[in-house]
Amino acid sequence: MRVRGMDYEAEGGASASPQPRREAAGHWRGGWPTLALMGALIALAALPVLLTESPPIFDYPNHLARVHILANLDAVPGFAANFSLDSLLLPNVLSDLILLALQPVLGIEAAGRALLVLLLALTVTGAVAVGSAAAGRLSPWPLLAAALVWNEVLIWGFLNYALGIGLLLWGLAAWLHLEGRSRAAQLLAGALFGVLLFLAHMVAFGLFAIAIALVELVRAWRHRADGVWPAARRLALSALVFLPALALFWAVSPASGLPLDLRFTFTAWQKLSPFTRLLSTGNTALDVATLAAVLLAVAALVASRRVALHGPLALVALVFVVLVLTLPYTAMGSYFLDMRVAIAAALMLVAALVPLRPAPRLTAAFAAGLLLLVGVRGVAMAGDWAAQDRAYRDIKRVLAQLPEGAIVVPADAAPFEIGYWVTTRMVRPAHEHSAAYAAIHSNAVVVNIFARKGQNPLNFTPELDELGALALNPVARAGDKALLRRFIRSVDAAARALQATHGSAAPPVYIAVFNRGCGNWPRGVPTRPISCGKDHALMRVVPRTPADETVVVGSSS
């Protein structure tokens, strides 16, 4: 495999002498075809979002609901009574800030789709920016990132981390581009991107720090003849760009008080499957074929001797792979830390593709093949999402009928899926967070909204411990009658506590169980059916008093 020298300054980087116009012409004159191709690829990748009302992305409804509550915290009494505003100086908050800015103009659901399109564009353009900064000229080869933008991390709905990956690419591109132009501007850009990445996700911030450190260490090695002290001074000054973000974290962010709570798992599946199911969107055959096509394209381009891997960026990708194999799977209340890094490694690999010699025919064939690959994937995903969207539309219609201020406690009869070797989920659509739409459309209080102190700007602070105990992550399980009965008893206890505190003014309490209907609902439980479908059962908990405690209502319909 062809890897160019390990000093980005010597590889057509920002501080290298300008490339001759005739060489750039071999990679499409003026760069406009590359920019046009980039726009077309982003549009094709965005088709599922543009043609779907409710994208079937795991955590996505929860993100929207949290921002809707934040925007209406003082206007909705049920929200004010059960949630409180915390600091905005948190990791894992940037998507909330963007949605809060877009929501007054677009409405929360359209704002969510706009954010998804922004994520796609940020990732593709970021990969091209890194590759162009490394090569010293605009190059189409990093556009392979367009085939990777829909990946397991984004399908999980890790929106803040996905934002962080896009910002990581742009931050690294700025660092490479400003090398040799302005050291002061390079350091300032590094510090600004560091703060943005801190607000996006701590893992993305850490990856940015590692990427900059590796690039600077490679440079120091290349310039080792200049002496130890100049290299040490430069490395120390480069490290200072991360201090503003770290100061925010340690001095004012509630996240600094979270317990580290590292947990490791080193099974082969845990550490290797993030790569084999990297593009897990639910269409396993197409996902595997797309990943294979990307790997073959990288190998073929390098084998052609017209494209090479940029040394420092290839090293960054390799170190990211090592991190997947060594990081814990959870820390500070955040899960799947190791798995998240796999997509960063893949994107860095394709961003590392830099041109060696003009290759107009190869470029044309590459562009046609990539348009076909991304187009087929976009159309297939749009069709799959449309079918899932109909299921969400039915659920949203039911939840929109709930009274404002109602308490909604969700459960799921399907087991929680954390992935297989080549795909993440078999149950589609995922309903773990479908109840969150009740907060958006009915201003209901949904207890499993992600609103935890130190992790989110919104905290779930109900007045009763019984209600707080129902805030499970992501949702309670009710796969059999025993689990369902236990779940109903816990909800009933919370409803009775509310009734004892507020009397007739107590908010109504509803149970929403997904992936099961009302058939064979346990008898002798205090619930009344509100809506029954093949994939949901919405029940109201019947108010009781000690005098009629023995009177219960059940349903077998």
Cβ-Cβ contacts under 8 Å for 192 (sequence gap 6 or more): none
pLDDT in tens, the chain (557 residues): 556 553 444 344 433 333 333 333 334 455 899 999 999 999 999 999 999 999 999 999 999 999 999 999 999 999 999 999 999 999 999 999 999 999 999 999 999 999 999 999 999 999 999 999 999 999 999 999 999 999 999 999 999 999 999 999 999 999 999 999 999 999 999 999 999 999 999 999 999 999 999 999 999 999 999 999 999 999 999 999 999 999 999 999 999 999 999 999 999 999 999 999 999 999 999 999 999 999 999 999 999 999 999 999 999 999 999 999 999 999 988 889 999 999 999 999 999 999 999 889 999 999 999 999 999 999 999 999 999 999 999 999 999 999 999 999 999 999 998 889 999 888 989 999 999 999 999 999 999 999 999 999 999 999 999 999 999 888 999 999 999 999 999 999 999 999 999 999 999 999 999 999 998 899 888 999 999 999 999 999 998 655 444 333 333 33
Rounded CA separation 253/241 (Å) = 18
Pair 510, 408: CB distance under 8 Å: yes
Pair 278, 293: CB distance under 8 Å: no
Longest dimension (CA), the chain: 91
Rounded CA separation 536/513 (Å) = 6
Rounded CA separation 491/508 (Å) = 12
Could you read off the pLDDT of 239-266 as tens digits, one per residue? 999 999 999 999 999 999 999 999 999 9
The dihedral region occupied by 477, where left means phi > 0, alpha psi between -120 and 50, and beta the remainder, is beta
* DSSP codes joined into one string, 335-357: E-HHHHHHHHHHHHHHHTEEE-S
Pair 98, 118: CB distance under 8 Å: yes
> Can you say whether the dihedral through the CA atoms of 380, 381, 386, 387 is positive or negative?
positive
How many CB atoms sit inside 10 A of residue 39's CB?
Answer: 13
Cβ-Cβ contacts under 8 Å for 80 (sequence gap 6 or more): 73, 74
The dihedral region occupied by 489, where left means phi > 0, alpha psi between -120 and 50, and beta the remainder, is alpha
Rounded CA separation 310/314 (Å) = 6
